[in-house]
Amino acid sequence: MTTTEPTPTTDAGPESVSGAEIVFDQVTKSYSAQGKPAVDSLSLTIPAGQIVMFVGPSGCGKTTSLKMINRLIDPTSGTITIGGKDVRSQDPDDLRRQVGYVIQGGSLFPHMTVAQNIALVPGLLRWDKKRITDRVEELLDLVGLDPVRYRDRFPRELSGGQQQRVGVARGLAADPPVILMDEPFGAVDPITRQRLQDELMSIQSELKKTIVCVTHDIDEAIKLGDRILILQEHAQIAQYDTPEAILSAPANEFVEDFVGSGSALKSLSLTRVEEVELTEWTTATVGEPVGPVLERARAARQKSVVVLDQRRRPVDWVNIRALTGETVPAPVDEARDLHQIDHRATLNDALDTMLVSAYAGVIVTGRRDQYVGVATFEAVTALITARNEAARQAQEDADEQ
Amino acid sequence: MLEFVLDRAPDLAYRSFQHVSLVVQCVLLATVIAVAVALLVTTVPRLKPVANFVSSVGLTVPSLALLGLMLPVVGIGTLPSVAVVTFYAALPILRNAVVGLEGVSGNLLESARGMGMNPLLTFLRVQLPLAWPVILAGLRVSTQMSMGVAAIAAYALGPGLGGWIFTGLAQIGGQNAVNYALTATIAIVVLALLLDLLLRVLGRFTISRGISA
């Protein structure tokens, strides 16, 4: 199989939207004739190509609302349309094959290999074998797993984060316009969660699907969402707006409580690392002779070197004193957590990661995990200071008028 | 005794074949029945106590007694043997199949549904493969047990090695009584061990590497 550069997922440009609009019209779901309905007359438009986060306290009906989109639950009354088509006019199994579905922990089938798991829906849609194999390769590559290494592994041979990546790949398998996610990153540790979120954002910036994601974590919602839907009991809309608007102008006390205090801190979640001025760091490729690398590092007055693999993905960050051999070695422990973040990660994530990094900085990666640069602590704090200064200036200007 | 066996080698081989053939066919039939019942029981939870009751009480009914009860209904010969062996064979498989199918997490079932698999596909591609190791363990127990039950079923003139055991018992004190009974018993034990080996090999090939221990 090929190990060369992956083919782009879509031939269309990055601005093209492959998602479809979802509209809820007066949707109600009651489980019993008496008692209040779980979802009471919900009307909502989810724009094509956006990530909309459903958040709210448990029992607010957010998961019920999500599951009504692919008819895992049928509404008692009201209609839901995807791309203008009533979901109830379609056979539920056909509908579900055209809507990606990702749930907590990936829910991979343990008796199937990674490739078999991803190939499931394309198989149900009777794609031919060659097309399925190619698609599996492409998707594994997209979620940052080397197809040759991971294709034939079983889920239990993967870490939680890797399983979740395969879960996302499986949801994307048949290239559905709409993807539903139910607490997708709930079961992994915070650092892995942050990386998965970053990856989802970079995948989304490539694919422009319509993604509906349920979470109970407001920080996750602020980070991932183009729009956030905050629900109260019985799926009453408390606020449905952009993260910026929800942070700066919460609609009511419920939203204010739910978003919580420290919205200045939370706004760190609105600024992306890509806005930070990145530092050029000395890089080396695995297998390259050590001599020139050391020269470059000294010339740049840097005491460490970022090691990249053949596809320019960072694999290690080493002190130059550790480079004693003939050539730059591959990292010994490949599972070790490298302090790297995606360029779409938030400043909050960057600061978090820096606290555990040995070099007061984090490696920033771009598309498909390729190296972009290093964000230093100074650069991040400088950006925050500048932002605060600008905000204060704006406040003063407003006061003067 | 060697002479006894050699004299009757063709008959012994024929009876052994019949015995194994009876057991294999009955266990296969029992597996289909038991898995179908287990699927029903796990989808309709109210039936579960009934199934558990039948599978535990069933095993306490002496097989000879059950055979006796069957005779007026199905007569003598092969049919009562098949009925009795299948009945007992189904019990351990049923019990294990219920446990195995219940062990498939609800998350996975919902995932399957969410991906557009209908109930039949879900059963064939998710539930059955995942429950298979447990079902197969039940199948092995069931096969061993059925080898013994099949011998007793020969009381109603069924096929297999049981006939020799009863011949031996009927002529206790006679010249070949011990030979008949002992040869048949040893043959049953050896065949049972061979079948078990086959089932273990089957497990090797049919249990996904992703879930085998």
Residue A393 lies in a domain: no
pLDDT confidence band for A262 (50 / 70 / 90): low
pLDDT in the model for residue A205: 86
Q: What is the CATH number of the domain that holds A337?
A: 3.10.580.10
Asked if the model's pLDDT at residue A199 lies above 50, the reply is: yes
pLDDT confidence band for A92 (50 / 70 / 90): very high
Chain A nearest-CA residue for B110: A72
Q: What is the CATH number of the domain that holds A202?
A: 3.40.50.300
Distance from CA of B93 to the nearest CA of A (A): 21
Give pLDDT tens digits for B142-173: 999 999 999 988 887 778 898 898 888 888 88
Domain boundary among A264, A298, A325: A264
Q: For the domain B2-206, what is the CATH code?
A: 1.10.3720.10
pLDDT in the model for residue A1: 41
Residues A288, A258 within the same domain: no
Residues A113, A61 within the same domain: yes
Asked if the model's pLDDT at residue B12 lies above 60, the reply is: yes
Residues A351, A239 within the same domain: no
Residue A283 lies in a domain: yes
* Interface residue of A66, A67, A107 to substitute, partner B, most B CBs within 10 Å: A107
Would you list the DSSP string of A279-336?
Answer: BP--EEETT-BHHHHHHHHHHTT-SEEEEE-TTS-EEEEEEGGG--SSBPPPPS-TTS
Q: Residue B208 is nearest to which of A96, A111, A170, comparing CB atoms?
A: A111
Residue A305 lies in a domain: yes
Residues A221, A287 within the same domain: no
Percent of chain A surpassing pLDDT 90:
35
Asked if the model's pLDDT at residue A335 lies above 60, the reply is: no
Q: Tell me which of B35 and A267 has the higher pLDDT.
A: B35
Give pLDDT tens digits for A273-290: 888 888 888 888 888 888
Residues A211, A230 within the same domain: yes
Domain boundary among A243, A264, A285: A264
Q: What is the mean pLDDT of chain B?
A: 90
Residue A17 lies in a domain: no
Task: Please give the residue range of the domain that contains residue A171.
Answer: 22-264
Give pLDDT tens digits for A27-77: 999 888 777 888 888 999 999 999 999 998 888 889 999 999 999 999 999
Residues A215, A320 within the same domain: no
Exposure b/e, B41-67, CB count within 10 A at least 16 = b: bbeeeeeeeebeeebeebeeeebeebb
pLDDT confidence band for B196 (50 / 70 / 90): very high
Q: Tell me which of A379 and B118 has the higher pLDDT.
A: B118
Cross-strand pairs, A374 = A279, A363
Residue A121 lies in a domain: yes
pLDDT confidence band for A264 (50 / 70 / 90): low
Structure tokens given for A291: 């001599």
Chain B nearest-CA residue for A104: B107
Residues A123, A147 within the same domain: yes
Residue A400 lies in a domain: no
Give pLDDT tens digits for B26-60: 999 999 999 999 999 988 888 888 888 888 888 88
Q: Residue A96 is nearest to which of B116, B129, B210, comparing CB atoms?
A: B116
Site of tokens 């990856």? A199
B72: CB partners within 8 A, 6+ apart = none
Distance from CA of A232 to the nearest CA of B (A): 26
Residues A29, A162 within the same domain: yes
Residues A255, A364 within the same domain: no
* Interface residue of B104, B107, B111 to substitute, partner A, most A CBs within 10 Å: B111
Residue A8 lies in a domain: no
Looking at this predicted complex, what is its ipTM? Answer: 0.83
Q: Domain count for chain A, please give it.
A: 2
Q: Residue A72 is nearest to which of B108, B114, B208, comparing CB atoms?
A: B114
Residues A50, A131 within the same domain: yes
Q: Residue A101 is nearest to which of B114, B125, B130, comparing CB atoms?
A: B114
Residues A282, A192 within the same domain: no
Distance from CA of A110 to the nearest CA of B (A): 6
Is the CB of A109 less than 8 angstroms away from the CB of B126? yes
The answer to whether residue A242 neighbours chain B at the CB level (below 8 Å) is no
Percent of chain A surpassing pLDDT 70:
91
Ordered by start, the domain boundaries in chain B are 2-206
Is the CB of B121 less than 8 angstroms away from the CB of A109? no
Structure tokens given for A368: 């498909």
pLDDT confidence band for A110 (50 / 70 / 90): very high
Mean predicted confidence (pLDDT) in A375-388: 81
Q: Please report, as a single letter, which amino acid is at residue B18.
A: Q
Residues A136, A209 within the same domain: yes
